[in-house]
Amino acid sequence: MIRTIIVDDEALGREAVRGQLRDCTDFDVIAECSGGADAIARIRKLAPDVVFLDIQMPEVDGFDVLTELGDEAPITVMVTAYDQYAVRAFEHYALDYVLKPIEPERFARTLERIRRRVETAGAGQRTTELRDLLVSLSGRTASPDRLAFKATRGLVFLEPDELEWVESAGNYLKVHAAGEEHLIRETMANFCRRLDPSRFLRIHRSFLANVNHVREIRLSGTGTDYEVILRTGETLPIGRSYRDAVVARLEGPA
C-alpha cells in the first residue's frame, strides 16, 4: 500500500484528491490536513510514502512545509489552482505539479509516476535491509570483495571463488555457484562490469567462467572449436571471437 497524506486548507480540495484515489486500491489515505503546520507534524509522525500538497495556505504554505521537512519530505505532488509556481515546485524536488480542477487522465499519469518512484525506492530499501540482515545474522562484516546480487529468491552474497560460471538465459542470467543455481535479471555485459577481470573471463557471448575453476581447454567434438572443462565437469563452449583471448589468458606467460 502507498501510504498517503492529503494537505489542503479547503475541504473541497481535499475531497477532489480523495475522489481521484477512491478506486485506487493501492493508495491508502492515512491522514488529511487543513494547514501546513499540521501537515509537518503528521508527516513526521506517520512517515507517508506520498503527500498531495496544496501550495497557497494561510500562515504555513506548501513551500514552507517542504522547506521545514527538508530531507524528511516524502514523495510530493503539488496540487494548486495556479500555474506560476511550477518551476519553484520542481526546485523543491516535487515529483509532479497538478492543476485544479483536477483532470482524471492527467491525475492517472501522476499516480503511475508515484507507483514507479515508490517501487524503485522500495526495491532499494529492501536490498539494503536484506544486506543488513544477512550481515547481522552471519556476524560478518560486509566486504567490498564479496559479490552481491538480487536473485529471484532474494539477495545473494558470494565469495568470488564460489562463483563457478554464468550463462545467459533470455532476459536472465543463471549464476552457478557453490553447487547452487541463482536466476537474476541482468545482462551479461552489466554483470561482467561488476567482476574482477583477473578472476573472471568471458569465453562466449553467452558464457562467463571463473578462471580458478577451469581444469582444461580442449578441442570440441567438431575438431575445429574449443571448449572449457570446469573442475565440476561442466563443459562450456568457447566462442570463436573469444578463442584467442581465452587461450592466451589461460596459458599465461610462455
Of all helices (H) and strands (E), which one includes residue 184? strand 180-184
Q: Residue 17 in 3-state DSSP?
A: helix
What pTM was computed for the model? 0.51
Contacting residues for 163 by C-beta, under 8 A, at least 6 apart: 147, 175, 176, 177, 200, 210
Q: CB–CB of 228/238 below 8 Å?
A: yes
Which domains, from first to last, does the chain contain? 2-124 (3.40.50.2300), 147-251 (2.40.50.1020)
Given a contact cutoff of 8 angstroms between Cβ atoms, the answer to whether 224 and 204 are in contact is: no
Per-residue pLDDT of the chain (254 residues; tens, 9 = 90+): 899 999 999 999 999 999 999 999 999 999 999 999 999 999 999 999 999 999 999 999 999 999 999 888 999 999 999 989 998 898 888 999 999 999 999 999 999 999 998 887 655 554 444 444 444 444 443 344 677 777 766 677 788 889 999 999 877 889 999 888 888 888 888 888 878 888 899 999 999 999 999 988 888 877 778 899 999 899 999 988 888 888 787 776 54
Q: Return the closest-CA partner of residue 211 out of 157, 167, 165.
A: 165
Q: Which helix (H) or strand (E) holds 202?
A: strand 200-204
Q: Cα separation of 52 and 64, whole Å? A: 14
Angle at 155 (CA atoms; ends 120, 143), nearest 5 degrees: 105
